[in-house]
C-alpha cells in the first residue's frame, strides 16, 4: 500500500514530516509519496516558491528516509493540479498498487468541492489525519480517520520567519533552511 500526501509544501516543515511518519506507521504503508502541487486549484496560483523549488525542498527533507519519496506527477502536467487526475495517472502507471490518499481534516472538509470528488474513493482509499481537537467532516468517501500529534507549525509561519530573517532551525529540516537561505526564498511580502 502506497500513501499519497499532497499539498503545496511551501515550504515543507516538520509538521508535515511528523504527520507523514505517523500515517506511514499507523497504516503500515510500504511507501509514502509526497505529491507537491504545481498549482492548487483553491489557491489560484498563490504559491510563494515555484513548483520545482518546492519539490527540491521536499527531496532534501526526505533524503535518506527509507520509504519516503517525492512524486512528480503534478509537476509534469500543466496546472491546476487536480487530485483525481493524479490518481488516474498513478493507477494507470501502477495498476497493482493499492493507493491511499492522505488528507488533513481541513482538506477533507473541502473534498466534496474537488473535481470529480465521487471518483476519488474509487481510485484510492481516503484516510484523514486529525489532530487532537480537530473536527473531522462526515463523508461517505472517508474510509478511515487516524490521530496524529498536534504540531503547531505552519508554512505561513515559516515564510514569515524567513521574511523577518529569523532562524528556521527546528521549524524545517536543516537542509531545507539552508535551501531557503541560499535561494533567498520568501523574502518579499506576500
Q: What is the pLDDT of residues 33-68, one digit of tens each?
A: 999 999 887 666 577 899 999 999 999 999 999 999
Question: Per-residue DSSP letters for 40-95?
Answer: -TTTTT--SS-HHHHHHHHHHHHTT-TTEEE--HHHHSPSS--HHHHHHHHHHHST
Q: What is the pLDDT of residues 116-133, one digit of tens each?
A: 999 999 999 999 999 888
Fold classification of 2-150 is: Rossmann fold (3.40.50)
Mean pLDDT score of the chain, rounded to an integer?
Answer: 93
pLDDT score at 45: 59
The answer to whether the bond into 80 is cis (omega within 30° of 0) is yes
Domain boundaries, the chain: 2-150
Q: Is the pLDDT of residue 69 over 70?
A: yes
Chain centre to alpha carbon of residue 120: 17
pLDDT score at 43: 63
pLDDT score at 126: 97
pLDDT score at 33: 98
Amino acid at each position: 500500500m502506497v500513501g499519497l500526501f499532497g499539498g503545496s509544501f511551501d515550504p515543507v516543515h516538520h509538521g508535515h514530516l511528523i504527520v507523514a511518519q505517523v500515517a506511514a506507521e499507523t497504516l503500515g504503508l510500504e511507501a509514502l509519496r509526497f505529491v507537491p502541487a504545481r498549482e492548487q486549484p483553491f489557491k489560484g496560483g498563490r504559491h510563494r516558491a515555484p513548483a520545482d523549488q518546492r519539490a527540491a525542498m521536499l527531496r532534501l527533507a526526505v533524503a535518506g528516509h527509507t520509504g519516503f519519496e517525492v512524486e512528480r506527477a503534478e509537476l509534469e502536467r500543466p496546472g491546476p493540479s487536480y487530485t483525481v487526475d493524479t490518481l488516474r495517472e498513478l493507477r494507470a502507471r501502477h495498476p497493482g498498487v493499492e493507493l491511499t490518499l492522505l488528507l488533513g481534516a481541513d482538506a477533507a472538509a473541502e473534498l466534496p468541492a474537488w473535481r470529480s470528488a465521487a471518483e476519488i474513493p474509487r481510485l484510492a482509499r481516503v484516510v484523514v489525519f486529525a489532530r487532537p481537537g480537530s473536527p473531522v467532516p462526515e463523508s461517505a468517501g472517508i474510509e478511515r480517520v487516524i490521530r496524529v500529534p498536534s504540531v503547531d507549525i505552519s508554512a505561513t509561519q515559516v515564510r514569515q520567519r524567513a521574511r523577518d530573517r529569523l532562524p528556521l532551525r527546528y521549524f524545517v529540516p536543516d537542509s531545507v533552511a539552508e535551501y531557503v537561505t541560499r535561494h533567498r526564498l520568501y523574502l518579499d511580502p506576500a
